Chains A and B, each alone.
Chain A
């Protein structure tokens, strides 16, 4: 463990456990501009020798500890899959980008036909890849987020209150995502994006027993949630969003998430096989979500290097897809993309 900072006991334990189980090294890095949820830079995803967990410099106590616990758990899942030679992520290639952008374009045209204030063509074209890419990011993140949170909850009871705060904060941020673009983004994608987050929140609300997570902390801003359980807290928030009328999609996704996670015994011995099983469950539920959103031809399961290369070629893929969708019509517009 390459770190010199005070850590609570359960966190030191999980760091040591991670290093021993994966036979690797984990470094901790404080950065003023780090993402609020921290970042994991790991050797199973990137071409590096060790693993680094980066967290915001202003987090000096348990908020930092939870970030470390969360990323250690994710690292264990990735590492276990990698050790079995199976670690893959949802990547994309030129055909995937074409399929995704074409589908988004068709759906956007349907929406635009009903709108009084039409979106300028160049904006609509720009949106296609952005939205495709957005779903790629989300599908690589949301299922794992649910699994990791559930595992941390069972493994580290002493940091549950911290976990509650992180979940509430993350939920709020994810809820706000895309809100400003609501009038631009085709309705179908706005609904699906929110449904994924809603399903994750509801899964966590059902998984994390309310009585242990009551916000008993003496924090004025959280007082309004007093005597509400986690599920009510998260549901109450979602009912106040414009998306809520389409919650049926979220409920369906919740069933999709719950089904493979139901049989998981979170209290099993945390061996390499246990984490590999979590990886398989995560992969299955990701597949099921992709199927539900009819995005099967948008993504391919490939080793992480494939996704990194895909990001490097994204401009090329986007231009290629635009040519395939619009033919010669797009030539002039491409300059502006």
Chain B
């Protein structure tokens, strides 16, 4: 459990991130982590903001710290695969996305990045399999979102 103060600061940061105000979001995440340096979820949130602002090395470092705190943190593995992909470390990105998909079989991004990496490495058949899984999940999520939107309209 994170310290209450750190939790509130991270929450504020996240509300900025949702509005794509990453500079403000990062400031709050930094404050939260100075209060509680072992707050894994906040490290993940900061990694996400770093990715959005093109700071991929920083994102990777935060993901690694979050994973060190919780080896089964699937979202952190997934974000790590994205950071590694951007850093063009394809083999490592593949390993991270595979781990993320194993921990959370419903992670669309992890399956998609796995497909992209396999494609890059010339493993086309395996890539199609990963893309297929990613597409299935994405369609299911899209159908749910549509159904929700229709319910709200009514």
- Give me the interface of A with B, judged by CB distance under 8 Å: 4, 6-9, 58-63, 158, 161-162, 165, 169, 217-222
Contact = CB atoms under 8 A, between A and B. Distances in A.
A217 B132 CA distance: 8
B140 A61 contact: no
A170 to B, nearest CB: 12
A31 B23 CA distance: 19
Given A6-B85, A58-B145, A62-B112, A219 B139 contact: yes
A237 to B, nearest CB: 16
Interface in B20-56: 54
Contact of B142 (A8, A63, A161, A220): A63
Given A61-B111, A221-B143, A4 B138 contact: no
Contacts of B111: 61
A221 B54 CA distance: 38
Given A60-B108, A61-B108, A8 B139 contact: no
A63 B138 contact: yes
A158 B131 CA distance: 10
B138 A62 contact: yes
Contacts of B143: 219, 221
23 contacts: A4-B86, A6-B85, A6-B112, A6-B113, A9-B116, A59-B138, A59-B142, A60-B108, A60-B138, A61-B109, A61-B131, A61-B134, A162-B135, A165-B135, A169-B146, A217-B135, A217-B136, A218-B136, A219-B140, A219-B143, A220-B140, A221-B140, A222-B139
Contacts of A158: 128, 131
Given A61-B108, A61-B109, A221-B143, A8 B136 contact: no
Contacts of B113: 6
Given A61-B131, A62-B131, A161-B135, 13 more contacts: A6-B116, A8-B131, A59-B138, A60-B109, A60-B138, A61-B109, A158-B131, A169-B142, A217-B132, A217-B139, A218-B136, A219-B143, A221-B143
Contacts of A162: 135
Interface-central residue, A8, A58, A59, by most chain B CB under 10 Å: A8
Q: Please provide the 4 A-B residue pairs with the shortest distance between their CB atoms, ordered closest to farther.
A: A61-B112, A61-B134, A6-B116, A62-B135
A219 B136 contact: yes
A59 B145 CA distance: 11
Contacts of A6: 82, 85, 112-113, 116
Contacts of B135: 61-63, 161-162, 165, 217
Contact of B139 (A4, A7, A9, A63): A63
Contacts of B131: 8, 61-62, 158
B105 to A, nearest CB: 12
A51 B146 CA distance: 28
A58 B115 contact: no
A61 to B, nearest CB: 4
Nearest to B133: A218
B138 A8 contact: no
A254 to B, nearest CB: 28
Interface string B116-154: 100110000000100110111011111101100000000
B16 to A, nearest CB: 15
Contacts of A61: 108-109, 111-112, 115, 131, 134-135, 138
Contacts of A63: 135, 138-139, 142
Nearest to A161: B135
Given A8-B116, A8-B119, A58 B86 contact: no
Contact of B116 (A7, A221, A222): A7
A60 B139 contact: no
A37 to B, nearest CB: 12
Contacts of A222: 139
A200 B132 CA distance: 27
A6 B131 CA distance: 13
Given A6-B82, A6-B85, A63-B139, A161 B132 contact: yes
Nearest to B137: A61
Interface in B40-87: 54, 82, 85-86
